[in-house]
């Protein structure tokens, strides 16, 4: 108990699993908590007069219990026996060998294979944020930094990154001026405050020799101008503190600049249903669900990253598209690659097992089989008649030497309990073969000994048996005891029988056991050598897994685009987005009997900058706008798109404000949420962005709403010049098209039939001044009394109605907008505390100011 309490003192935050013999036991509050969460029986242990609550489970089933605790948001410290109990003179020495936390959990049996498991570290200093995150189970590390003009923008960036990365666990510095509490409430990750963790960021320096990333970091620091390594040091100190060893697989640090990718803010990601359905929360109803037919888990994880972070540079996009095109041209080639991909195991997640030495012979056979298929893929790609595929083939290093080493060492079907069975191939080591031979021979001898003794003694039911306590013994039933020879030594009496030893038997047993022990020990030491060799190859395996993931996703794109009838998008530099027969990938996918009606889109920076879309409820306005955004995203991922033709200009950011989603759990009204989102759009969109506004302004009174909607569109035209689709029931807005050449009106065709309507789902030029609300209400089953009365009221109101929007003069608007923009910049500058800035931060801020001024045009 004293030993336990000493250990527990250092692990107050975690549930402590204390190894006692074959069990992990928990005591005190840990026991009470765990017994509830894991449905274990709570017992008491009488110790020093107190009744200490206690519960536990056998060590060989610990993984499933630990994964349950992690799943429920606990951290677990594992305290093992670190010396052989047989050799211990007093109490067995115990130490915490590992702390398992949500962000460092690596058990591939319990981790979701199609998702990464990220641990993220955030360090904020003044107006700069440094984020780094790592998937310990695969070894990927990402790092970024950004400087802002004010805390609000920094916070928005932080929240967007949190949702995009979706870490299981976050490490965050707590400082007086850094108060994330309000934001963090809405983030579902496990949050650690670094101050409470007592991390010493210099601990990391001790491990420099163990980690390959240090040199990478130094490179980054020199080349990328990262002025602070603290965030990544926090990350590493935490990993070192919890994992104790196994850092060899942390090889790559990927520095990313959030401006290098198509930026999709959190709302758009949700509204466009990129990775899960809006109402169902399930992957099946999302773009990811439609697109993910990857054959390996590495591929699925990569695809998810691509969806959340599409590309922005044309050559990168076209590289992917061109590979998909070549794959599409050759069905047989495609089919052959898919067949091979099906045989490939999650070799990316093997790297951590190699690194912390938990890899098993079975894993190695999985790796071997994967390497065989990978080699086949290399061949298939090389033999294609395409230069780009042949170059891709050259990127595959099939690790021949590693492959043949495993092939020559491990048997084809190694046992799970490899510590007690033979798994190294015959012929690999003569010494090992001899030892195993000896134990086989001894076993055979024992079998023969039984027959021999039966004949000698005439006891026909004499049996040689084995158990853990006695070892080998001879068992004879009571009725034959008078025939037992005097050389037998009686060892145990049972109800119906007696058990004996014999000298010869015991001698042979000793031989058998010692040769078996020696064989197993030698086998493990040979395996250790192999593991060492593997560990020198981790980086190669990781590089290989990256290429395989890429091939998997692109093959998948090809496969999906053929099945779903997608086409290759083209790109232009003329600021035109032109889509012919575009379809909504998710809705079309879930349609079975009904046919999805395709629609065209033209957006440019001239007459088609902004479309105001009017039309009845349920006509398909929202669907149409989302489909444009989804097609742009798919194209910039390097995927084919649901259209007969798509000629696109590259978009830097996508913003969507769709529907009236209430955010009551955050304590905000719908309208407040709506306006916050619009504010974010107006502050961050550029002329290369795509904005989708769906019924903005509906959360307040009609006149408020119309006025806001009108002014928002004007601001976009005057200041942002971003391509915009705006669906609205405020028919007054169609007048904007008269005022601005760059605004045009679209509507969705319906056919009126008596007092009902038929949806034709076709987008056409023009507008409607009828929302057909009453007709839709009729379709929905509202009764005739209400319908008739509402028709009456509508007629009355329409007669009286004369809403005139008082249109401001063009010049007024311009100067007003310009004024407010410059005023805002001045205000932000005056809020800067110059004493807190490093020279580099000052330069960054200056740069941002200049850019903002340029963006407010004509300065």
Alpha helices, H only, 385-502: 387-394, 400-409, 430-457
Antiparallel, parallel or unpaired: β 169-172 and 190-193: parallel
Task: Pick between residue 687 and residue 770 the one whose CB is nearest to ligand ADP.
Answer: 770
3-state secondary structure 177-221: CECCHHHHCCCCCEEEEHHHHCCCCCHHHHCCCCCCHHHHHHHHH
Residues 634, 638, 644, 648: is their CA dihedral positive or negative? positive
Residue 211 interface partner, choices Mg ion, ligand ADP, none, CB cut-off 5-8 Å depending on type = none
* Residues between 745 and 764 with contacts to ligand ADP, criterion CB under 6 A: 761
Task: Pick between residue 579 and residue 619 the one whose CB is nearest to ligand ADP.
Answer: 619
Q: Which residue is nearest to ligand ADP (CB)?
A: 620
Task: Pick between residue 622 and residue 636 the one whose CB is nearest to Mg ion.
Answer: 622
Binding mask 594-633 for ligand ADP (x = CB under 6 A): --xx-x---------------x-xxxxxxx----------
- DSSP 3-state of 689: coil
Task: Pick between residue 368 and residue 597 the one whose CB is nearest to ligand ADP.
Answer: 597
Binding mask 559-598 for ligand ADP (x = CB under 6 A): ----------------------------x--------xx-
Count other Cβ atoms within 10 Å, centred on residue 313.
Answer: 12
Q: Which tokens hold the place of 744?
A: 């045009």
Q: 252 Cβ partners below 8 Å, 6+ apart? A: 139, 140, 141, 213, 216, 542
Distance CA 691, CA 674 (A): 14
Instruction: Walk across the sheet containing 190-193 and list its strands.
Output: 190-193, 169-172, 119-125, 128-135, 140-147, 252-255
Distance CA 632, CA 328 (A): 21
Task: Pick between residue 386 and residue 623 the one whose CB is nearest to Mg ion.
Answer: 623
Residue 597 interface partner, choices Mg ion, ligand ADP, none, CB cut-off 5-8 Å depending on type = ligand ADP
Count other Cβ atoms within 10 Å, centred on residue 774.
Answer: 18
Residue 617 interface partner, choices ligand ADP, Mg ion, none, CB cut-off 5-8 Å depending on type = ligand ADP
Q: Which of 236, 259, 244, 237 is nearest to 134 (CA)?
A: 236
Query: Smallest distance, Å, CB 283 to ligand ADP?
Result: 19
Q: What are phi and psi of 571, to 5 degrees?
A: -125, 145
Residue 104 interface partner, choices ligand ADP, Mg ion, none, CB cut-off 5-8 Å depending on type = none
Q: Which of 304, 309, 247 is nearest to 104 (CA)?
A: 247
Residue 761 interface partner, choices Mg ion, ligand ADP, none, CB cut-off 5-8 Å depending on type = ligand ADP
Task: Pick between residue 167 and residue 615 the one whose CB is nearest to ligand ADP.
Answer: 615
Query: Smallest distance, Å, CB 387 to Mg ion?
Result: 46
Binding mask 609-648 for Mg ion (x = CB under 5 A): -------------x--------------------------
Task: Pick between residue 300 and residue 622 the one whose CB is nearest to Mg ion.
Answer: 622
- Binding status of residue 312 toward ligand ADP by CB under 6 A: no
Whether 777 contacts 787, CB under 8 Å: yes
Task: Pick between residue 138 and residue 623 the one whose CB is nearest to ligand ADP.
Answer: 623
Query: Smallest distance, Å, CB 579 to ligand ADP?
Result: 13
Whether 336 contacts 229, CB under 8 Å: no
- Binding status of residue 499 toward ligand ADP by CB under 6 A: no
Q: Vertex 127, ends 682 and 159: CA angle to 5°?
A: 55
Distance CA 623, CA 725 (A): 12
Task: Pick between residue 56 and residue 582 the one whose CB is nearest to ligand ADP.
Answer: 582
Query: Smallest distance, Å, CB 621 to Mg ion?
Result: 5
Count other Cβ atoms within 10 Å, centred on residue 252.
Answer: 16
Task: Pick between residue 221 and residue 731 the one whose CB is nearest to ligand ADP.
Answer: 731
Size of the site for ligand ADP (CB under 6 A): 13
Task: Pick between residue 58 and residue 773 the one whose CB is nearest to ligand ADP.
Answer: 773
Q: Which helix (H) or strand (E) holds 58?
A: strand 50-58
Query: Smallest distance, Å, CB 583 to ligand ADP?
Result: 7
- Binding status of residue 96 toward ligand ADP by CB under 6 A: no
Size of the site for Mg ion (CB under 5 A): 1
Task: Pick between residue 516 and residue 621 the one whose CB is nearest to ligand ADP.
Answer: 621
Query: Smallest distance, Å, CB 658 to Mg ion?
Result: 8
Whether 721 contacts 727, CB under 8 Å: no
Query: Smallest distance, Å, CB 790 to ligand ADP?
Result: 19
Antiparallel, parallel or unpaired: β 610-614 and 756-765: unpaired
DSSP-assigned states of every residue in 259-321: GGB-EE-HHHHHHTTSSS-TTT--GGGSHHHHH---SSHHHHHHHHHHHHS-B--HHHHHHHH
Residue 623 interface partner, choices Mg ion, ligand ADP, none, CB cut-off 5-8 Å depending on type = ligand ADP
- Binding status of residue 393 toward ligand ADP by CB under 6 A: no
- Binding status of residue 657 toward ligand ADP by CB under 6 A: no
Q: Which tokens hold the place of 319?
A: 């590289």
Residue 356 interface partner, choices Mg ion, ligand ADP, none, CB cut-off 5-8 Å depending on type = none
- Binding status of residue 848 toward Mg ion by CB under 5 A: no
**Chain residues that interact with ligand ADP, rule: CB under 6 A:** 587, 596-597, 599, 615, 617-623, 761
**Chain residues that interact with Mg ion, rule: CB under 5 A:** 622
């Amino acid at each position: 108990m004293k030993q336990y309490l000493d250990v527990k003192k250092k692990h107050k935050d975690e549930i402590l699993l204390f190894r006692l013999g074959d069990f992990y036991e928990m005591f005190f509050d840990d026991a009470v908590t765990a017994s509830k969460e894991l449905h274990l029986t709570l017992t008491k242990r009488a110790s020093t007069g107190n009744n200490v609550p206690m519960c536990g489970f056998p060590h060989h089933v610990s993984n499933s219990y630990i994964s349950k605790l992690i799943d429920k948001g606990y951290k677990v410290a594992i305290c093992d026996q670190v010396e052989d109990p047989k050799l211990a003179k007093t109490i067995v020495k115990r130490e915490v060998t590992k702390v398992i936390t949500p962000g460092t959990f690596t058990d591939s049996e319990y981790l979701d294979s199609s998702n990464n498991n990220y641990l993220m570290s955030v360090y904020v200093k003044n107006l700069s944020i440094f984020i780094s995150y790592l998937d310990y189970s695969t070894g990927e590390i990402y790092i970024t930094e950004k400087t802002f003009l004010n805390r609000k923008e920094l916070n928005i960036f932080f929240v967007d990154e949190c949702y995009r990365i979706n870490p299981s666990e976050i490490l965050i510095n707590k400082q007086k001026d850094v108060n994330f509490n309000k934001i963090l409430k809405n983030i579902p990750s496990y949050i650690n405050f670094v101050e409470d963790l007592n991390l010493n960021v210099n601990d990391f320096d001790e491990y420099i020799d163990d980690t390959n990333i240090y040199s990478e970091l130094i490179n980054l620091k020199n080349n990328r101008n990262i002025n602070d390594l603290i965030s990544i040091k926090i990350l590493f100190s935490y990993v070192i503190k919890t994992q104790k060893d196994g850092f060899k697989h942390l090889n790559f640090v990927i520095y990313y600049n959030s401006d290098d990718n198509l930026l999709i803010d959190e709302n758009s990601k949700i509204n466009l249903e990129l990775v899960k359905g809006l109402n169902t929360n399930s992957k099946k109803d999302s773009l990811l669900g439609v697109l993910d037919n990857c054959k390996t888990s590495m591929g699925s994880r990569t695809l998810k990253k691509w969806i959340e972070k599409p590309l922005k540079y044309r050559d990168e996009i076209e590289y992917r598209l061109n590979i998909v095109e070549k794959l599409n041209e050759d069905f047989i080639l495609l089919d052959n690659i898919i067949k091979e991909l099906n045989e490939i195991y999650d070799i990316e997640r093997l790297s951590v097992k190699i690194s912390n030495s938990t890899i098993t012979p079975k894993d190695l056979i999985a790796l071997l089989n994967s390497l065989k298929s990978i080699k086949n893929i290399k061949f298939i790609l090389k033999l294609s008649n395409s230069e780009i595929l042949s170059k891709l083939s050259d990127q595959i290093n099939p690790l021949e030497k590693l492959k043949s080493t495993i092939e020559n060492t491990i048997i084809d079907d190694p046992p799970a309990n490899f510590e007690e069975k033979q798994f190294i191939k015959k012929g690999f080591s003569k010494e090992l073969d001899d030892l195993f031979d000896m134990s086989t021979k001894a076993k055979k001898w024992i079998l023969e000994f039984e027959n021999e003794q039966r004949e000698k003694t005439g006891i026909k039911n004499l049996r040689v048996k084995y158990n853990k306590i006695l070892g080998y013994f001879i068992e004879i039933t009571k009725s034959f005891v008078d025939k037992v020879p005097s050389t037998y030594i009686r060892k145990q009496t049972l109800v119906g029988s007696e058990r004996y030893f014999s000298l010869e038997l015991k001698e042979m047993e000793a031989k058998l056991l010692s040769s078996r022990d020696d064989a197993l020990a030698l086998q493990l030491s040979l395996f250790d050598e192999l593991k060492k060799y593997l560990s020198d190859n981790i980086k190669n395996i990781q590089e290989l897994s990256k290429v395989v993931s890429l091939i998997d996703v692109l093959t998948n794109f090809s496969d999906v685009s053929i099945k779903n009838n997608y086409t290759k998008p083209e790109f232009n530099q003329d600021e035109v987005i032109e889509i012919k027969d575009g379809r909504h990938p998710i809705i079309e996918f879930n349609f079975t009997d009904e046919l999805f009606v395709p629609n065209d889109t033209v957006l440019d920076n001239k007459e088609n900058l902004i479309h105001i879309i009017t039309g009845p409820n349920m006509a398909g306005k929202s669907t149409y706008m989302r489909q444009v955004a989804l097609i742009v995203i798919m194209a910039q991922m390097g995927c084919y798109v649901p259209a007969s033709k798509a000629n696109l200009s590259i978009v830097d950011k996508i913003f969507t404000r769709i529907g009236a989603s209430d955010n009551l759990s955050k304590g905000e009204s719908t309208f407040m949420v709506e306006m916050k989102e619009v504010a974010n759009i107006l502050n961050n969109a550029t002329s290369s962005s795509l904005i989708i506004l769906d019924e903005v302004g509906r959360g307040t009174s009609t006149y408020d709403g119309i006025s806001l909607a009108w002014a928002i569109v004007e601001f976009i035209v005057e200041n942002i010049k971003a391509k915009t689709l705006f669906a609205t029931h405020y028919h007054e807005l169609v007048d904007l098209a008269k005022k601005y050449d760059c605004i045009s009106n679209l509507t969705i065709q319906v056919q009126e039939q008596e007092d009902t309507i038929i949806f034709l789902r076709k987008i056409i030029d023009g507008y409607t001044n009828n929302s057909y609300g009453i007709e839709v209400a009729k379709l929905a089953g509202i009764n005739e009394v209400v319908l008739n009365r509402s028709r009456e009221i509508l007629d009355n109101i329409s007669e009286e109605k004369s809403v005139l929007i008082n249109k401001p003069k063009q010049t007024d608007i311009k100067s007003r907008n310009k004024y407010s923009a410059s005023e805002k910049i001045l205000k932000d500058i005056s809020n800067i505390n110059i004493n807190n800035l490093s020279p580099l931060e000052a330069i960054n801020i200056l740069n941002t100011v200049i850019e903002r001024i340029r963006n407010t045009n004509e300065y």
